[in-house]
Amino acid sequence: MTDSVLNVVLGLVASAISAGLGWLAQALRRRRKVERVRAFFGLPAGGECLIVVNQHPVSPSAKSVSRNDVYALMELAALVKECGAQAELVPHDDVRQGLGNKAEFCIGGPVSNERTAAHLASWLPGASYAQDPDGQVSVLTVGTEEYRYGKETEPTGGHSFVLLARLHPTPGSRPAFLIAGQTAVANHAAVRYLVANHRRLARRHAQAGTFVLVLKVVNPKAYGPDVVELAADVTADALRRTPVSSAA
């Protein structure tokens, strides 16, 4: 074998080794990324999770779901599939189990989702919702702060708020994610925010930490669920139970 042929062979071998190492490094990075996503959402490969489906708040049918809530459910289903887990869709009034055994995604405010109402009462006593006479969830209150719904007929196009929480009641348990918006568009926006920002949320609140955020959906009439702002981190206020004053 001449020197020139030997150099060509050695070059090919070096290129193959370099390509193999590059592929291996990329595969390891992808695996670490997926493992971080699985850890944050509590979705191990082959595991199961609950997706609790709310009811359309103004539909006479108990099985009707708002179109934007369906979009939110589809994006959650894609996330679960990416993690290699399996999702079980359950109606909000048909869940009879506690937290921690499975990861959970609970969609909708307490008016359209009985499971949300239970989570608020049990784990987020500092948060509450109020309705207008027409059934619109108009005010989200956390602690002493009020977040009022702005109608789409306003010159600015209106706005809505959504409570996004990660509940982790006991160490080692699977988390429950609560997405409780004033509108279905707000629910959809919060799901997108959660999926897009989970790495930042994990760094800020720890991989297994509890957090409660209020998000503001800006001008949903024009922008749908795409323009979202972090209105406040209300973790401390939402977890704090307001003391009941005794009668004189």
Q: What is the pLDDT of residue 76?
A: 93
Q: What is the DSSP string of 182-245?
A: SSHHHHHHHHHHHHHHHHHHHHHH-TT--EEEEEEEE-HHHHTTS-EEEEEE-HHHHHSPPPPP
Q: How far is CA 161 from CA 12, 28, 190, 201, 213, in A?
A: 59, 39, 9, 19, 10
The pTM for the full model equals 0.83
Q: What is the pLDDT of residue 3?
A: 61
163: closest CA among 199, 123, 130, 127?
127
Phi-psi region of 158 (alpha: psi -120 to 50; beta: other; left: phi over 0): left
> Could you tell me the residue ranges of all domains in the chain?
42-239
Rounded CA Rg of the chain: 23
Q: What is the pLDDT of residue 31?
A: 58
Distance (Å, whole) CA 56 – CA 154: 24
Residues 103 and 76: beta-carbon distance below 8 Å? no
Q: What is the pLDDT of residue 137?
A: 65
Task: State pLDDT tens for residues 82-108.
Answer: 989 999 989 988 888 888 889 999 999
Q: What is the pLDDT of residue 245?
A: 45
Question: What residues in the chain have per-residue pLDDT under 70?
Answer: 1-34, 59, 62, 133-137, 207-208, 242-248
Joined together, the tokens standing for residue 87 give: 């999702």
Q: Which amino acid is at 143?
A: G
Distance (Å, whole) CA 231 – CA 226: 15
